[in-house]
Amino acid sequence: MKHIAAYLFCFSILTGVTSALAEKNSESAAGSLFSNLSTREYLTGDWGGLRDRLIEWGLTPTADYSATILGNPAGGMRKGVKYAGLLNVYLDFDLEKLLKLGGTKLVVSGSWAYGESLSEDDIGNFFTVSSDFNGKSVSLYQFFIETHLWRDRVTVALGRMGIGDDFATADVFGVYINDAFNQHPISLSYDIPAFLSDPDAALGSRIMVRPADEFYIAGGVYSADPDSRRNRDVSVDIDFTFDGVILISEAGYTPGRARHSEGLPGEYKFGAYYDTGEFEELADEEEKRQGNYGFYIVADQMVYRESGDGSQGLTLWATATLAPEEEINTFPLFLSVGCVYEGLLPGRDNDIAGFGFAYGKLSRDLEDQDYEIGIEGTYIFQVTPWLGLQPDVQVIIHPGGSSSIPDALVAGMQISVDI
């Protein structure tokens, strides 16, 4: 089991190479192989035309694999090096093509996670340094149906979904490796354990209404069962038990993202949530409270775009979360800011550079713990359309909110493959 990731990755490369050789049309097999691999969208190619035919029939299969190797040469509880990997496989069924159900699709996906946590084992901090670490499991991830109504002004979905995949998130967060920035503000997952995102999910429903191109309101209801948040070993269960629900709403303004818009794109989101479940007090686990609530703001705005109509340029972003009930919330206040530049280096239009800073104020009821800071600088070399290599440097200040653990320097690399 320990080396499955390496075997899988090598098998994928072998499959891609074999496919490229089979498709060679130039005088030189080596030249054809290099050209094919460097320009194809996916590592395994078009499967001899089968991938395109499946899409025409109404089935879009995709898979992505990412693996991270990080170490802390200085600071933390001890020095260490850890690997973590995550494979996601998606099947997107276009029910308009398959069953004549207009504007409707079915999404089924599974995940395989493996590895160890540098944060838990060696550093002792809250802001997990590798977003690829998700325990050790093979499990069902998503299983939901989504339909678009009234010329896409209304979107409704029902099934197994990750709340953090749709709320309190932004596309720029996917650039980062540290979980303080990746997907959504990490404070939400600490304060609300059932606030799930890739590759964890739970039963729920959501609706989005877009009365105008640049405005939307969205709401959702999700299971708040904490036991459903972590996939264990091999699992395809869909749990119908509920220990409460999460109610969430979000309003958004998206300037420059409407079709044919000439302005610089941005997103401004304000959300509020309420979890009806039971929560233990941080100072006394025997004492419990019913219900928990909070608020969040997520904003990103492109402030500079290079000449042309591409996506190259500089985007600034910021987040804030507030959880007033300090007796039951690990992070009553969380703030993060950063910037992302696509095409920073000349001739490297598809590369992405990112910088992020996160501050989390810990609850006063956590003894001898006050705050944690995470800083990340990262750069994605888009080697081919399907392969990204990402050197990464992080600094964790006040790990675990405790002055007894030295500040940690973290460095390493992530590889991302669209299979």
Q: How many CB atoms sit inside 10 A of residue 126's CB?
A: 25
| pLDDT computed for residue 3 by the predictor | 44
Domain membership of residue 133 (yes or no) is: yes
CA distance 47 to 151: 34
Structure tokens belonging to residue 246: 């999460």
pLDDT tier at 2, thresholds 50, 70, 90: very low
pLDDT tier at 20, thresholds 50, 70, 90: very low
Among residues 184, 179, 177, 170, the alpha carbon closest in space to that of 389 is found at: 177
Q: Answer for the pair 124, 76: CB distance below 8 angstroms, yes or no.
A: yes
Q: Per-residue pLDDT averaged across 140-154, rounded? A: 96
- In this predicted structure, the answer to whether residue 105 has a pLDDT above a threshold of 60 is yes
Q: Per-residue pLDDT averaged across 241-245, rounded? A: 73
Q: Are residue 31 and residue 165 in the same domain, yes or no?
A: no
CA distance 55 to 50: 9
Domain membership of residue 14 (yes or no) is: yes
Domain membership of residue 102 (yes or no) is: yes
Q: Are residue 83 and residue 16 in the same domain, yes or no?
A: no
H or E segment to which residue 140 belongs: strand 137-149
Who wins on pLDDT, 316 or 21? 316
| pLDDT computed for residue 33 by the predictor | 57
- Supply the mean pLDDT for the chain: 90
Who wins on pLDDT, 293 or 235? 293
| pLDDT computed for residue 227 by the predictor | 64
- In this predicted structure, the answer to whether residue 324 has a pLDDT above a threshold of 60 is yes
Q: Are residue 391 and residue 409 in the same domain, yes or no?
A: yes
Query: Phi-psi region for residue 244, left (φ > 0), alpha (ψ -120 to 50) or beta?
Result: left
Q: How many CB atoms sit inside 10 A of residue 236's CB?
A: 10
Q: Answer for the pair 32, 26: CB distance below 8 angstroms, yes or no.
A: yes
Q: Answer for the pair 228, 202: CB distance below 8 angstroms, yes or no.
A: yes
Q: Are residue 260 and residue 147 in the same domain, yes or no?
A: yes
| pLDDT computed for residue 146 by the predictor | 98
Beta strands 59-74; 81-94: pairing state: antiparallel
- In this structure, is the dihedral angle defined by the CA atoms of residues 276, 174, 310 and 385, taken in order, positive or negative? negative
Among residues 86, 63, 182, 180, the alpha carbon closest in space to that of 133 is found at: 86
Q: Answer for the pair 21, 29: CB distance below 8 angstroms, yes or no.
A: yes
- In this predicted structure, the answer to whether residue 279 has a pLDDT above a threshold of 70 is yes
Name the DSSP letter for residue 399: G
| pLDDT computed for residue 242 by the predictor | 57
Q: Are residue 139 and residue 92 in the same domain, yes or no?
A: yes
Q: Are residue 140 and residue 187 in the same domain, yes or no?
A: yes
Among residues 72, 87, 195, 89, the alpha carbon closest in space to that of 132 is found at: 87
**Angle of the 29-39 helix axis to the 4-22 helix axis, nearest 10:** 120
Lowest mean pLDDT among 14-28, 150-164, 347-361: 14-28
Q: Are residue 8 and residue 72 in the same domain, yes or no?
A: no
Lowest mean pLDDT among 91-105, 153-167, 218-232, 355-369: 218-232
pLDDT tier at 310, thresholds 50, 70, 90: confident
Q: Are residue 206 and residue 293 in the same domain, yes or no?
A: yes
- In this predicted structure, the answer to whether residue 34 has a pLDDT above a threshold of 90 is no
Q: Answer for the pair 340, 352: CB distance below 8 angstroms, yes or no.
A: yes
- In this predicted structure, the answer to whether residue 64 has a pLDDT above a threshold of 70 is yes
Domain membership of residue 383 (yes or no) is: yes
| pLDDT computed for residue 17 by the predictor | 41
| pLDDT computed for residue 232 by the predictor | 46
Type of residue found at 345 = L
- In this predicted structure, the answer to whether residue 26 has a pLDDT above a threshold of 60 is no
- In this predicted structure, the answer to whether residue 415 has a pLDDT above a threshold of 60 is yes
Domain that holds residue 75: 58-418
CA distance 199 to 35: 34
Out of 30, 48, 66, a domain closes at 48
Q: Are residue 37 and residue 91 in the same domain, yes or no?
A: no
| pLDDT computed for residue 261 by the predictor | 74
Find where tokens 């130039």 sit.
Answer: 26
CA distance 87 to 245: 29
pLDDT tier at 30, thresholds 50, 70, 90: low
| pLDDT computed for residue 79 by the predictor | 97
Name the DSSP letter for residue 123: I
| pLDDT computed for residue 238 by the predictor | 55
Q: Are residue 134 and residue 21 in the same domain, yes or no?
A: no
Query: Phi-psi region for residue 283, left (φ > 0), alpha (ψ -120 to 50) or beta?
Result: alpha
Q: Per-residue pLDDT averaged across 163-171, rounded? A: 97
User: What does the chain come to in residues?
Assistant: 419
CA distance 228 to 238: 9
Let me know the angle formed at the C-alpha of 69 by 65 and 71, rounded to the nearest 5 degrees: 160
pLDDT tier at 62, thresholds 50, 70, 90: very high
Q: Are residue 21 and residue 116 in the same domain, yes or no?
A: no
Q: Are residue 1 and residue 122 in the same domain, yes or no?
A: no
Domain membership of residue 53 (yes or no) is: no
CA distance 282 to 280: 6
pTM of the model: 0.89
